[in-house]
Structure 1
Amino acid sequence: MRAARTNHAWAGRIRTRSNGRARVLRLLLALCALPAVFATATPAHATDTTPDTRATTAAPARGADPAPDTQAAYLADRLRENPVHVTDQLPREVPRSTAPDFARLAKKTGLPTYLLVLPMQNSTDGKELLGAVHDRLGRDGLYVLIEGTDVAEATAYGVRAPAEAALTVTRYELAYDAGPLLSFERFVDVIAQGEEKAASRAEAAREKYRDEEPAEMYIGPSDRQNQSFLTGILLTGVPLSILLLAAYARRGRTGKPALRLMVPGVALLSAAAIALTAPVVFDETRSSAARLPTPAEMSARVERVAAGLKQDPVYADPESPRVLDARQRDRLHERIRDFRRSDGGGPVYISLVPQTPESESAGDPDLFAAAVHAKVGGDGVYIVADPDDGTIDVLNHGLRLDSSHLSFDLPDSLTLGDSRADEADDHLLGERLDRLMTFLDETPRTDRPQSEPAPAAAPRAADEHTLPALYSTDFWPGLFVGAFAALLLTGLVAGATWIVRGLWRRHSPEPEPFDSLPFTAPTQPSTSYLRRTAYAELTALGAQFTGPNDRGGRSGDLLDAALLLVDGDPGRTRRPGVDPATLVAVIVLARTGRAARTGRPSNLCCGVNPLHGPAEHRHHVRVTADGNRRRLLPVCAPCHDTAVAEPGGIPGRLLKLPDPALGNTRLPYYDITDSPLTAVPDGIGRLVDRVRGAAGVH
């Protein structure tokens, strides 16, 4: 297509050289035009004067073959009307009222800038889409694609712009919750700096944030609940602690009346200071950068789809890739007509529209179908097919069809697809929708019309991104916890602390207490628990050896491997710097060594949770709550019983640890790739080899 535009420009220059070459020029132009006459696609070169450009985006008549790049043609037409196109499918995150702000920012580039704000599309390559839109529009400039809330792609056509550097800076410098407007503003600022400065800034951002993420800009409702809970604890815990500790300190003593009156005053001042300071420290009011959409923006997409369904019972979202060809559309139209004429049948409305959490229905296809049904105003079967993930939902509104049959007997191969559908770009939606029509033909009829129950309302957009007040939610439970914490603190200060420390000093040199260490195996252990347990287990194993010459055999090898993980110092397990995965490896090695010392050796450790101890079987177990992904793991007796009796319970028993690369996100221990724990499913011997190899010991 770009070659065609070059040929036209070259022919124009030839025309100016002499009139004698005009005939040759006309012949060349005629030859260049022949492919366009016979091609099924629309012309590659589109300008404002091209007469049929917008006709390519109109809904084709039944039986006509729509343009193969309908999505690009539609988006090109939107950009021809306005260089900034904001979809109507993301009102909760990017309402269309933000278009003027995007346009204002786009002017700062100093270049012709064309911006598309679209839903996230897993099946579409952003760079290819921008190229196709540019070829359709026929205008050079900077083309930018925002998917969801992030600047996803940018390409310069016919102009010089540091698009790649600007993308790098935006992705590295901003937190994931920065929002589309701030992301585009940062992108535009880098473009305006020029190529040299933009390249330097991109390299600096890449180096600075290579191993860390920028701090989040907003907090969520759970964070606000934690803030409220902490405020409540402090508001009662601190004043009560002052009163109780002061009373304990002067127990059995007589003090001046002025001093006795000072303590309540200090407690009251501390409560007032906390009550006044907490709203200043926890001053967040919103959980995201999203603006509040208007009611018209929240209903725009539903109205668009309903209007399309009134014209054609098969509506394909023009902003999404085409998943039905002309033959499949004709087939669906024929099946819909036959079903409508059948006994107990009726209208069928198919919406090929993506369902995203940012849409008016918050990604709920039942809610979307109910809204479309209300706008269309006619009963029928409403089918919602997502062209992005390939899911299909079927809802009966007012036909004499057995709704329970539609709800419970639809095969997963129709609603969710199979492996073939997952691998296909179109998710085989045409084939599956045709099979779905056969299923509708065979659905039992009822004496009276049936309808789906009204779905639960979606969250209010006004509340979705607004944080609750600080003095609400968990603030009230925090008050009671604070009072209890004050009592507990006073008791600890009175005697529990020195008793525990005394017992620890008295018995720590002896191995007996460690032989009876409590056996615990949490699924999501805290770092403090892992430090305490690793130190206790490692110290207990070391105390069972009389000296360095006694470190022979399997238990000695396990002790040496555990010490390699902490550089030979058991005390390192109690100090920051040792990651949770390493602490778990120390515990596993130490416990296995102690078992071998007592004559109970085992080479297999439970692969579901290594803290469970020795394994007795190998079993294919489910390792994810969503889906049916399985893995062959050694399992202990309780995990084996669970895998047989309740396979879905295994994911809840998996040991999950925080991944340093992902912050607080917890992963199954064997997915933390830089940890020796990945060798646990292969046996304790493999774990020892992995530890020795990492330490350079053979």
Structure 2
Amino acid sequence: MEAVTSTHVYAGLTRARSSGRGHVLRLLLVLFALTAFFATATPARAATAEPPTQAAYLADRLRENPVYVTDQLPRAVPRSTAADFTRLARRTGVPTYVLVLPGETVRDGKALLGAVHDRLGRDGLYVLVDDHSVTDATAYGVRAPADDAWTAQLYELPYDAGPLLSFERFTEVVALSPEKASARAEAARAAYEDDEPEAMYIGPSDRRNQSFLTGILLTGVPLSILLLAAYGRRVRRRYAGSVRKADRAARRMPPALPVAAVVASAALAAVAVALTATAVFGQTASSGTKPPTPAEMSARAERVAAGLRKDPVYTDPESPRVLDARALDRLHQRIDAFRRSDGGGPVYVALVPQTSESESAGDAELFAAAVHTKVGTDGVYVVADPADGTIDAVSHGLRLDGDRLLFDLPDDITLGDSRADESDDHLLGERLDALMTFLDRTPRTDRSVEGPSPAPAPSPAEDNALPPLFATDFWPGLMVGAFAALLLFAVSAGVTALVLRRRRPATEPFARLPFTAPTEPSASWLRRTAYAELSALAREFTEHGEQPLARDRLDAALLLLDGDPGRARRPGTDPATLVTVIALARAGRAALTGQDTDLCCGVNPLHGAGVRLSHVRVSATGRRLLPVCELCRDTAIADPLGIPPRLLRLPAPSGGGRLPYYDATDGPLTAVPRGIARVVERVRETAGVY
């Protein structure tokens, strides 16, 4: 019994040992398999070192050269300007370290300069410059008026001076003594409060304004010369013909210029305007930036492409870190999984800021296309901006639905949400992980699809070049100039006609009374003038015999006064009646001289004969068809709103204020707009004489 038991026990122990060894072997095999899997799955990550911090990278660059110019601003600060920055830095008299970086990559300039100084371990003047000017400066272990120099360059220079000129002014003040630098800063601040510095350069909108003004002057000045000269010749002929021969010597007028001389003057004026505009508006560029070379324009894309050949995730070393080690590992795992998936492929992620002064002018798709060309491998190219947090993805040569990737990518991925806006890293790790999930779910196509071909960015020369002076708004300016010349001609003609009318000598032998026509005549003036005009008509009618029209008008005027001319001088006579007497008397005297016209100025009957019927503005909103004299006709053409103030206004019947003559009475005076003959008929109807 014991032997049997011993045998069974030995057999059990033997099986147990065999089973234990089997478990150990299987465990070892699993461990070896897992080790081999991870070794083949992520060989690149095992060999890739963690990217340096922003301060560490910049300190290494300053260790190589005390002036570092980024390759991300070729349109504003080409890397070739490093020699100019170095030359200016030597003027300070102290060790000077200069960093030229995009403003979008710097969160706190003072803190960055301090971190770079700690990494570099060298005392000196540390200066930070962006694509516009000097933004920060700090002195470590040396005496340099950094703050005063920064203040002076800020207030002394216009906003468009540029980074190089700003740094030059900065070094100029740093080289001064502390007292002089402080005084310079205070003076600059005080001057800026009163008057900001004028811009050094103009932009495209300013050039369009210059072109518009040039066009106006180029047609307005010569055309004004031609029109005014022609009008002057016409006025001279008419004025000279109206002067009596006995007065011509006293009223001698200057001789008119020959037509050829007028045309030559206009042509010379046009040439002078063109030459002057070319000299005064001679700017050809909107900034003082040196044009970058092709190598400078492609330097950033080549740098990023070289990094992506080693690691599918490239972090810009000039920018703050936005992905920690855990987020980077997670992103690499997702990229590896997508590369091995059906219809997937390589994914390249570039964490690089996109600025308007970069080679792609801030166009992420254009930058992705340039990097794809440099890398030479098809795949999904992702551009994540660590400055503003935007994400753009473009597929080149993979079997992915490119339209969905371009147009259906959620805004939470491309732009982020409120949480991303409030976070320093814009939650890029979380959003890039969501992007990889979106790529996994993107439908595959039967064949590879080429990525979009974005329009090329404008060349730096075109970006800074101004339009030609004789282009853009120059052509509309030509038309406006012609209109302005016509308007000037109309106003000048109206003013000249007014002056000549007042100075014109009388040509009629009977014109011995002064011809006046006030807009708001007084009662005494009306009584005095009515009596004088009626007496003159009676006297001249007696001297020159019968004239039917003069007889009718004299009779009508006397009917208004009940046949007694002396009544015109008596107080109490209706002002409308006196105006009618004056108009009839003047029309009768005109009939005696053979210059009769049935029309009388409907704006003011005291103006005398009318020359034409015209729709004129009698109020701000109303028009009437009235006969107008020459002066009122010219005023209606040149300044329609000038007619209402010229209307004859008589005292209101109820007293207080004045009304237009056709509203102040219902007597014969209201018939003036229909002619003198109608006034005579109304007088007869009123008096009952037929």
TM-score w.r.t. length of structure 2: 0.62
Q: 1:259 to 1:515 in 2, by over 3 A?
A: closer
Q: Distance in 1 between matches of 2:279 and 2:182?
A: 40
Distance 1:110 1:272, change over 3 A: same
After superposition, the C-alpha distances for 1:592-613 in whole angstroms (9 at most, x for unaligned) are xxxxxxxxxxxxxxxxxxxxxx
Deviation of 1:214 (Å): 1.1
206, 222, 227: which is aligned to 1:244? 227
Paired residues for 1:301-312 under 5 Å: 301-312=300-311
Deviation at 1:514, TM superposition (A): 8.2
Structure 1 position 66, deviation (Å) = 3.3
Q: Which residue of 2 aligns with 1:190?
A: 173
Are residues 64 and 449 of structure 1, via their aligned partners in 2, closer, same or farther at CA, if it must alter by over 3 Å? Answer: closer
Query: Does residue 1:136 correspond to 2:136, yes or no?
Result: no
Please state whether the residue corresponding to 1:253 is helix, strand or coil. helix
- Give SS of 1:251's match: helix
Distance 2:422 2:167 in 1: 33
Q: What is the 5 A alignment of 1:66-85?
A: 66=50, 70-85=53-68
The structure 1 segments of at least 4 consecutive aligned residues displaced by more than 6 Å after TM superposition are: 496-499, 512-516
1:204-230, Cα deviation, whole Å (9 max, x unpaired): 111110254211000012211221222
Alpha-carbon separation, structure 2, partners of 1:498 and 1:129: 76
The residue type equivalent to 2:465 in the other structure is T
Tell me, yes or no, if structure 1 residue 117 matches structure 2 residue 116: no
Matching of residue 253 in structure 1 with residue 252 in structure 2? no
Aligned residue type for 1:235:
L
Assess if the C-alpha contact under 8 Å between 2:395 and 2:402 holds in 1. yes
Structure 2 residue runs without a partner (length 5+): 1-43, 238-253, 499-518, 521-602, 604-617, 623-690
User: Superposed, which structure 2 residues align to 1:37-48 within 5 Å?
Assistant: none
SS of 1:400's equivalent in the other structure is: strand
Could you tell me how far 1:484 is from its partner in structure 2? 2.8
- The residue number in structure 2 matching 1:552 is none
Q: Is 1:490–2:473 an aligned residue pair?
A: no
* Displacement after TM superposition at 1:475 (Å): 2.6
Return the alpha-carbon distance in structure 2 between the equivalents of residues 221 and 416 of structure 1. 31
C-alpha distance in structure 2 between counterparts of 1:492 and 1:309, whole Å: 73
Partner of 2:509: none
Q: Is the 8 A contact 1:120 1:148 kept in 2?
A: yes
What amino acid maps onto 1:320 in structure 2? S
Once the two structures are TM-superposed, the CA of residue 432 in structure 1 deviates from its matched residue by 0.5
Aligned partner of 1:28 in structure 2 is: none
**2:312 and 2:349 in contact (8 A); partners too:** yes
Rounded to whole Å, the distance in 2 between the matches of 1:411 and 1:299 is 31
Partners of 1:63 and 1:327 within 8 A in 2: no
- In the other structure, the counterpart of 1:382 is 381
Contact 1:64–1:326 (8 Å) recurs in 2: no
Quote the offset at 1:63 in angstroms.
8.6
For residues 421 and 467 of structure 1, what CA distance do their matches in structure 2 show?
40
Q: Mapping of 1:96-495 within 5 angstroms?
A: 96-121=79-104, 124-254=107-237, 256=255, 258-495=257-494
Q: C-alpha displacement at 1:319, in angstroms?
A: 0.4
CA distance in 2: counterparts of 1:494 and 1:401, whole angstroms = 76
Structure 2 CA distance for partners of 1:167 and 1:252, relative to 1, 3 Å: closer
Shift of 1:160: 0.8
RMSD: 2.4
SS of residue paired to 2:139: strand
**In 1, distance between residues paired with 2:496 and 2:332?**
79
The AA in structure 1 aligned to 2:321 is R
TM normalised by structure 1 equals 0.61
Gap regions ≥5 residues in structure 1: 1-59, 500-504, 517-698
Report the AA paired with residue 363 of structure 2. D
Flag the 1:349–1:262 CA change in 2: closer, same or farther, 3 A: same
Q: SS of 2:353's equivalent?
A: coil
Work out the number of aligned pairs and report it: 447
For residues 212 and 414 of structure 1, do their structure 2 counterparts lie closer, same or farther at Cα, with a shift above 3 Å needed?
farther
Matches of 2:443 and 2:263, distance apart in 1: 77
Q: CA deviation at 1:246?
A: 2.0
Q: Matched residues in 1 for 2:430 and 2:491: separation?
A: 70
The alpha-carbon distance between structure 1 residues 498 and 177, as it changes in their structure 2 partners (threshold 3 A), is farther
Q: Is the 8 A contact 1:123 1:425 kept in 2?
A: no
Find the counterpart in structure 2 of residue 545 from structure 1: none
Deviation at 1:258, TM superposition (A): 4.0
The CA distance in 1 between the partners of 2:472 and 2:172, in whole Å, is 41
Residues 404-449 of structure 1: per-residue CA shift (max 9 Å, x gap) = 2112221111100111111111111011101110111111111122
Tell me if the contact between 1:233 and 1:479 (Cα under 8 Å) persists in the aligned partners.
yes
Identity value in percent = 69
Matched residue SS, 2:175: helix
Describe the shift of the 1:252–1:175 C-alpha distance in structure 2 as closer, same or farther (beyond 3 A): closer
**Alpha-carbon distance between aligned partners in 2 of 1:442 and 1:62, rounded to the nearest angstrom:** 29
Deviations 1:215-251 (A, max 9, x none): 1000012211221222122111100011112222332
1:490-527 residue CA offsets vs partner (Å, 9 max, x unmatched): 2343449999xxxxx999xxxx97899xxxxxxxxxxx
Larger gyration radius, structure 1 or structure 2: 2
Kindly tell me: are residues 197 and 498 of structure 1, through their superposed partners in 2, closer, same or farther at Cα, counting changes over 3 Å?
Answer: farther
Distance of 1:485 and 1:414 partners within structure 2: 57
For residue 269 of structure 1, report the CA deviation from its aligned partner: 2.0
2:138 is paired with a residue of what secondary structure?
A: strand
AA paired with 1:463?
E
Displacement of 1:252: 4.5
Structure 1 stretch 364-373 or stretch 397-406: which is displaced more?
Answer: 397-406
Secondary structure of the residue aligned to 2:104 is coil
What SS does the aligned partner of 1:394 have?
strand
Q: How far apart in 1 are the matches of 2:497 and 2:117?
A: 75
